[in-house]
Chains A and B, each alone.
Chain A
Protein backbone atom coordinates (compact mmCIF):
# COMPACT_ATOMS: atom_id res chain seq x y z
CA UNK A 1 0.00 0.00 0.00
CA UNK A 2 2.80 2.39 1.01
CA UNK A 3 4.68 1.90 -2.22
CA UNK A 4 1.84 3.58 -4.14
CA UNK A 5 2.12 6.82 -2.14
CA UNK A 6 5.23 8.24 -3.90
CA UNK A 7 3.62 7.47 -7.24
CA UNK A 8 0.48 9.37 -6.23
CA UNK A 9 2.55 12.32 -5.01
CA UNK A 10 4.57 12.34 -8.22
CA UNK A 11 1.39 12.22 -10.28
CA UNK A 12 -0.11 15.11 -8.31
CA UNK A 13 3.07 17.20 -8.68
CA UNK A 14 3.22 16.49 -12.40
CA UNK A 15 -0.43 17.38 -12.85
CA UNK A 16 0.01 20.61 -10.89
CA UNK A 17 3.11 21.51 -12.91
CA UNK A 18 1.45 20.81 -16.23
CA UNK A 19 -1.48 23.03 -15.31
CA UNK A 20 0.66 25.83 -13.91
CA UNK A 21 3.26 26.04 -16.68
CA UNK A 22 1.23 27.39 -19.62
CA UNK A 23 -0.37 30.07 -17.48
CA UNK A 24 3.08 31.13 -16.24
CA UNK A 25 4.30 33.00 -19.31
CA UNK A 26 1.19 33.50 -21.42
CA UNK A 27 -0.73 36.79 -21.01
CA UNK A 28 -4.01 35.29 -22.13
CA UNK A 29 -5.39 31.82 -21.81
CA UNK A 30 -6.53 30.31 -25.07
CA UNK A 31 -9.98 28.86 -24.41
CA UNK A 32 -10.65 25.20 -25.09
CA UNK A 33 -13.22 26.24 -27.69
CA UNK A 34 -10.39 27.92 -29.61
CA UNK A 35 -8.09 24.90 -29.43
CA UNK A 36 -10.97 22.69 -30.55
CA UNK A 37 -11.20 24.62 -33.83
CA UNK A 38 -8.19 22.67 -35.08
CA UNK A 39 -10.53 19.75 -35.74
CA UNK A 40 -12.67 21.86 -38.10
CA UNK A 41 -9.95 23.92 -39.73
CA UNK A 42 -8.48 23.31 -43.16
CA UNK A 43 -5.12 24.62 -41.98
CA UNK A 44 -3.87 25.17 -38.46
CA UNK A 45 -0.86 27.02 -37.12
CA UNK A 46 -0.02 26.34 -33.49
CA UNK A 47 3.08 28.05 -32.15
CA UNK A 48 3.95 27.94 -28.46
CA UNK A 49 7.43 29.20 -27.62
CA UNK A 50 8.46 30.17 -24.11
CA UNK A 51 11.52 32.18 -23.04
CA UNK A 52 14.14 29.41 -22.99
CA UNK A 53 12.92 28.14 -26.35
CA UNK A 54 13.16 31.65 -27.82
CA UNK A 55 16.72 31.98 -26.56
CA UNK A 56 17.51 28.59 -28.00
CA UNK A 57 15.94 29.53 -31.34
CA UNK A 58 17.90 32.79 -31.50
CA UNK A 59 21.15 30.80 -31.51
CA UNK A 60 20.14 29.33 -34.84
CA UNK A 61 19.41 32.66 -36.48
CA UNK A 62 21.88 33.85 -39.04
CA UNK A 63 22.92 37.43 -38.26
CA UNK A 64 23.83 37.95 -41.91
CA UNK A 65 20.25 37.31 -43.04
CA UNK A 66 18.03 40.37 -42.75
CA UNK A 67 14.92 38.57 -41.49
CA UNK A 68 16.90 36.49 -39.01
CA UNK A 69 18.70 39.54 -37.64
CA UNK A 70 15.39 41.41 -37.22
CA UNK A 71 13.72 38.42 -35.59
CA UNK A 72 16.65 38.05 -33.21
CA UNK A 73 16.35 41.71 -32.24
CA UNK A 74 12.59 41.39 -31.64
CA UNK A 75 12.72 38.23 -29.55
CA UNK A 76 15.69 39.18 -27.39
CA UNK A 77 13.38 40.68 -24.70
CA UNK A 78 10.40 38.41 -25.25
CA UNK A 79 9.31 35.80 -22.74
CA UNK A 80 6.96 33.97 -25.03
CA UNK A 81 5.30 33.79 -28.43
CA UNK A 82 1.92 32.13 -28.75
CA UNK A 83 0.07 31.93 -32.05
CA UNK A 84 -3.09 30.10 -33.04
CA UNK A 85 -4.29 30.47 -36.61
CA UNK A 86 -7.14 28.52 -38.19
CA UNK A 87 -8.17 28.66 -41.83
CA UNK A 88 -11.59 27.29 -42.73
CA UNK A 89 -13.05 25.94 -45.94
CA UNK A 90 -16.44 27.58 -45.45
CA UNK A 91 -17.77 30.63 -43.69
CA UNK A 92 -19.29 30.38 -40.23
CA UNK A 93 -17.29 27.39 -39.05
CA UNK A 94 -16.37 29.16 -35.83
CA UNK A 95 -18.40 31.19 -33.40
CA UNK A 96 -17.49 34.77 -32.55
CA UNK A 97 -18.05 33.81 -28.91
CA UNK A 98 -14.55 32.32 -29.04
CA UNK A 99 -13.20 35.75 -29.94
CA UNK A 100 -15.29 37.37 -27.22
CA UNK A 101 -13.84 34.95 -24.69
CA UNK A 102 -10.38 36.20 -25.54
CA UNK A 103 -11.36 39.85 -25.66
CA UNK A 104 -12.88 39.54 -22.19
CA UNK A 105 -9.43 38.66 -20.84
CA UNK A 106 -8.05 41.94 -22.14
CA UNK A 107 -10.25 44.25 -20.10
CA UNK A 108 -7.83 44.89 -17.24
CA UNK A 109 -6.15 48.27 -16.58
CA UNK A 110 -2.85 47.18 -18.08
CA UNK A 111 -4.38 46.41 -21.46
CA UNK A 112 -4.87 49.16 -24.00
CA UNK A 113 -6.97 48.61 -27.06
CA UNK A 114 -4.68 50.12 -29.64
CA UNK A 115 -6.63 49.42 -32.85
CA UNK A 116 -10.05 47.95 -33.55
CA UNK A 117 -11.35 47.27 -37.05
CA UNK A 118 -14.91 46.17 -37.81
CA UNK A 119 -15.78 45.73 -41.45
CA UNK A 120 -19.43 44.82 -41.98
CA UNK A 121 -18.96 44.62 -45.74
CA UNK A 122 -16.13 42.10 -45.69
CA UNK A 123 -16.85 40.68 -42.26
CA UNK A 124 -13.32 41.35 -41.09
CA UNK A 125 -12.66 42.06 -37.44
CA UNK A 126 -9.27 42.94 -36.07
CA UNK A 127 -8.01 44.16 -32.72
CA UNK A 128 -4.59 45.08 -31.45
CA UNK A 129 -4.06 45.27 -27.70
CA UNK A 130 -0.87 46.26 -25.91
CA UNK A 131 -0.01 45.57 -22.30
CA UNK A 132 1.37 48.71 -20.65
CA UNK A 133 3.47 48.28 -17.52
CA UNK A 134 5.67 51.05 -16.07
CA UNK A 135 5.32 53.02 -19.26
CA UNK A 136 6.59 50.19 -21.37
CA UNK A 137 4.87 47.83 -23.77
CA UNK A 138 5.13 44.49 -22.06
CA UNK A 139 2.90 42.42 -24.27
CA UNK A 140 0.94 42.42 -27.50
CA UNK A 141 -2.22 40.64 -28.57
CA UNK A 142 -3.52 40.63 -32.13
CA UNK A 143 -6.95 39.19 -32.89
CA UNK A 144 -7.79 38.89 -36.57
CA UNK A 145 -11.11 37.32 -37.39
CA UNK A 146 -12.53 37.07 -40.89
CA UNK A 147 -15.18 34.64 -42.18
CA UNK A 148 -12.59 32.09 -43.32
CA UNK A 149 -9.81 32.66 -40.85
CA UNK A 150 -9.23 33.27 -37.19
CA UNK A 151 -5.80 34.25 -35.88
CA UNK A 152 -4.75 35.06 -32.35
CA UNK A 153 -1.20 36.26 -31.62
CA UNK A 154 0.21 36.87 -28.17
CA UNK A 155 3.74 38.23 -27.77
CA UNK A 156 4.78 38.29 -24.12
CA UNK A 157 7.59 40.50 -22.87
CA UNK A 158 9.18 43.84 -23.51
CA UNK A 159 8.44 45.14 -26.99
CA UNK A 160 9.86 48.31 -28.44
CA UNK A 161 6.89 50.29 -29.91
CA UNK A 162 8.96 50.87 -33.04
CA UNK A 163 9.17 47.12 -33.42
CA UNK A 164 5.38 46.84 -33.53
CA UNK A 165 5.08 49.14 -36.50
CA UNK A 166 8.34 47.79 -37.88
CA UNK A 167 6.99 44.25 -37.79
CA UNK A 168 4.69 45.02 -40.70
CA UNK A 169 7.68 46.02 -42.79
CA UNK A 170 9.57 42.83 -42.13
CA UNK A 171 9.43 39.19 -43.14
CA UNK A 172 8.36 39.92 -46.69
CA UNK A 173 5.40 42.08 -45.61
CA UNK A 174 5.23 45.64 -47.01
CA UNK A 175 5.99 48.35 -44.50
CA UNK A 176 3.18 50.30 -42.83
CA UNK A 177 2.70 53.91 -43.75
CA UNK A 178 1.37 56.46 -41.30
CA UNK A 179 0.38 55.86 -37.69
CA UNK A 180 -2.40 53.50 -36.66
CA UNK A 181 -5.61 55.09 -35.43
CA UNK A 182 -6.80 53.93 -32.05
CA UNK A 183 -10.32 52.54 -31.58
CA UNK A 184 -11.31 53.00 -35.19
CA UNK A 185 -14.43 51.07 -36.13
CA UNK A 186 -16.70 50.77 -39.12
Chain B
Protein backbone atom coordinates (compact mmCIF):
# COMPACT_ATOMS: atom_id res chain seq x y z
CA UNK B 1 0.00 0.00 0.00
CA UNK B 2 1.33 3.38 -0.97
CA UNK B 3 1.77 5.64 2.08
CA UNK B 4 1.71 8.71 -0.20
CA UNK B 5 -1.96 8.22 -1.08
CA UNK B 6 -4.33 10.34 0.80
CA UNK B 7 -6.59 8.83 3.34
CA UNK B 8 -9.63 9.05 1.07
CA UNK B 9 -7.85 7.29 -1.73
CA UNK B 10 -6.89 4.67 0.72
CA UNK B 11 -10.45 4.31 1.71
CA UNK B 12 -11.56 4.24 -1.96
CA UNK B 13 -9.33 1.28 -2.48
CA UNK B 14 -11.22 -0.42 0.23
CA UNK B 15 -14.72 0.67 -1.05
CA UNK B 16 -16.95 -0.92 -3.52
CA UNK B 17 -17.66 0.75 -6.90
CA UNK B 18 -21.07 2.17 -5.94
CA UNK B 19 -19.61 3.64 -2.81
CA UNK B 20 -16.97 5.40 -4.84
CA UNK B 21 -19.63 6.78 -7.18
CA UNK B 22 -21.65 8.03 -4.20
CA UNK B 23 -18.72 9.89 -2.78
CA UNK B 24 -17.98 11.63 -6.07
CA UNK B 25 -21.60 12.66 -6.58
CA UNK B 26 -21.82 13.95 -3.06
CA UNK B 27 -18.70 16.01 -3.54
CA UNK B 28 -19.91 17.23 -6.87
CA UNK B 29 -23.27 18.26 -5.44
CA UNK B 30 -21.69 19.94 -2.49
CA UNK B 31 -19.43 21.94 -4.78
CA UNK B 32 -22.24 22.86 -7.16
CA UNK B 33 -24.70 23.91 -4.49
CA UNK B 34 -22.14 25.71 -2.43
CA UNK B 35 -23.31 29.26 -1.59
CA UNK B 36 -21.31 31.87 -3.40
CA UNK B 37 -21.44 35.57 -2.50
CA UNK B 38 -22.22 38.07 -5.30
CA UNK B 39 -19.23 39.99 -6.55
CA UNK B 40 -18.62 43.31 -4.83
CA UNK B 41 -20.85 46.14 -6.16
CA UNK B 42 -23.23 43.81 -8.03
CA UNK B 43 -26.42 45.26 -6.41
CA UNK B 44 -25.30 48.81 -7.15
CA UNK B 45 -24.60 47.94 -10.75
CA UNK B 46 -28.05 46.31 -11.17
CA UNK B 47 -29.84 49.32 -9.67
CA UNK B 48 -27.82 51.74 -11.78
CA UNK B 49 -28.66 49.82 -14.94
CA UNK B 50 -32.39 49.75 -14.07
CA UNK B 51 -32.43 53.50 -13.41
CA UNK B 52 -30.56 54.17 -16.65
CA UNK B 53 -33.05 52.13 -18.69
CA UNK B 54 -36.08 53.84 -17.06
CA UNK B 55 -34.67 57.31 -17.68
CA UNK B 56 -33.90 56.38 -21.24
CA UNK B 57 -37.46 55.22 -21.87
CA UNK B 58 -39.15 58.36 -20.47
CA UNK B 59 -36.78 60.74 -22.20
CA UNK B 60 -37.46 58.89 -25.43
CA UNK B 61 -41.22 59.37 -25.13
CA UNK B 62 -40.78 63.00 -24.11
CA UNK B 63 -38.53 63.65 -27.04
CA UNK B 64 -41.06 61.88 -29.29
CA UNK B 65 -43.76 64.23 -28.01
CA UNK B 66 -41.45 67.19 -28.50
CA UNK B 67 -40.71 66.08 -32.00
CA UNK B 68 -44.44 65.73 -32.76
CA UNK B 69 -45.40 69.18 -31.46
CA UNK B 70 -42.28 70.74 -32.91
CA UNK B 71 -44.01 70.42 -36.27
CA UNK B 72 -45.51 73.90 -36.82
CA UNK B 73 -48.43 72.69 -38.93
CA UNK B 74 -49.50 70.19 -36.34
CA UNK B 75 -49.23 72.73 -33.54
CA UNK B 76 -51.34 75.19 -35.52
CA UNK B 77 -53.91 72.52 -36.32
CA UNK B 78 -54.20 71.53 -32.67
CA UNK B 79 -54.64 75.17 -31.61
CA UNK B 80 -57.19 75.73 -34.37
CA UNK B 81 -59.13 72.63 -33.37
CA UNK B 82 -59.26 73.81 -29.75
CA UNK B 83 -60.39 77.29 -30.86
CA UNK B 84 -63.05 75.91 -33.20
CA UNK B 85 -64.38 73.57 -30.50
CA UNK B 86 -64.48 76.42 -27.98
CA UNK B 87 -66.19 78.85 -30.36
CA UNK B 88 -68.75 76.22 -31.42
CA UNK B 89 -69.51 75.57 -27.76
CA UNK B 90 -69.86 79.26 -26.94
CA UNK B 91 -72.03 79.88 -30.01
CA UNK B 92 -74.27 76.92 -29.21
CA UNK B 93 -74.72 78.15 -25.65
CA UNK B 94 -75.49 81.70 -26.86
CA UNK B 95 -78.02 80.39 -29.39
CA UNK B 96 -79.74 78.30 -26.73
CA UNK B 97 -79.98 81.36 -24.48
CA UNK B 98 -81.29 83.54 -27.31
CA UNK B 99 -83.90 80.93 -28.18
CA UNK B 100 -85.04 80.69 -24.56
CA UNK B 101 -85.31 84.50 -24.31
CA UNK B 102 -87.19 84.67 -27.62
CA UNK B 103 -89.62 81.96 -26.54
CA UNK B 104 -90.18 83.78 -23.24
CA UNK B 105 -90.85 87.06 -25.10
CA UNK B 106 -93.25 85.27 -27.46
CA UNK B 107 -95.12 83.77 -24.51
CA UNK B 108 -95.39 87.22 -22.91
CA UNK B 109 -96.80 88.70 -26.11
CA UNK B 110 -99.35 85.91 -26.35
CA UNK B 111 -100.32 86.36 -22.70
CA UNK B 112 -100.66 90.14 -23.09
CA UNK B 113 -102.80 89.79 -26.23
CA UNK B 114 -104.92 87.11 -24.60
CA UNK B 115 -105.59 89.40 -21.61
CA UNK B 116 -106.35 92.33 -23.94
CA UNK B 117 -108.63 90.14 -26.02
CA UNK B 118 -110.39 88.82 -22.93
CA UNK B 119 -110.95 92.28 -21.46
CA UNK B 120 -112.21 93.70 -24.76
CA UNK B 121 -114.57 90.77 -25.03
CA UNK B 122 -115.90 91.42 -21.50
CA UNK B 123 -116.43 95.09 -22.37
CA UNK B 124 -118.28 94.05 -25.52
CA UNK B 125 -120.45 91.65 -23.54
CA UNK B 126 -121.36 94.41 -21.09
CA UNK B 127 -122.17 96.80 -23.92
CA UNK B 128 -124.27 94.17 -25.71
CA UNK B 129 -126.11 93.39 -22.48
CA UNK B 130 -126.84 97.08 -21.94
CA UNK B 131 -128.10 97.42 -25.50
CA UNK B 132 -130.44 94.48 -24.97
CA UNK B 133 -131.69 95.96 -21.69
CA UNK B 134 -132.26 99.36 -23.35
CA UNK B 135 -134.24 97.87 -26.21
CA UNK B 136 -136.47 95.79 -23.92
CA UNK B 137 -137.27 98.80 -21.65
Give the B-binding residues of A (Cβ under 8 A): 45, 47, 49, 53-54, 56-61, 67-68, 71, 74-75, 81, 83, 85, 115, 117, 119, 124, 126, 128, 140, 142, 144, 151, 153, 155, 164-165, 167-174, 176-178, 180-181, 184, 186
B105 to chain A, nearest CB (A): 4
Contact A153 B115 (CB under 8 A): yes
B110 to chain A, nearest CB (A): 6
How many contacting A-B pairs (Cβ < 8 A)?
120
Contact A168 B105 (CB under 8 A): no
Contact A168 B120 (CB under 8 A): yes
Contact B115 A57 (CB under 8 A): no
User: By DSSP majority rule, is chain A's interface helix, strand, loop, or mixed?
Assistant: mixed
B59 at the interface (CB under 8 A from A): no
- Which single member of B109, B128, B130 contacts A71 (CB below 8 Å)? B109
- Which single member of A45, A67, A75, A170 contacts B115 (CB below 8 Å)? A45
- On chain A, the residues within 8 Å of B119 by CB distance are 126, 142, 144, 151, 153
Give the A-binding residues of B (Cβ under 8 A): 99, 101-103, 105-106, 108-124, 126-128, 130-131
Contact B108 A47 (CB under 8 A): yes
B97 to chain A, nearest CB (A): 13
Can you name 24 A-B residue pairings with CB atoms under 8 Å? A54-B105, A54-B109, A57-B102, A61-B109, A67-B110, A68-B106, A81-B109, A83-B116, A126-B122, A140-B116, A144-B119, A151-B119, A153-B115, A167-B113, A168-B117, A168-B121, A171-B113, A172-B114, A174-B121, A177-B128, A178-B128, A178-B131, A180-B127, A184-B127
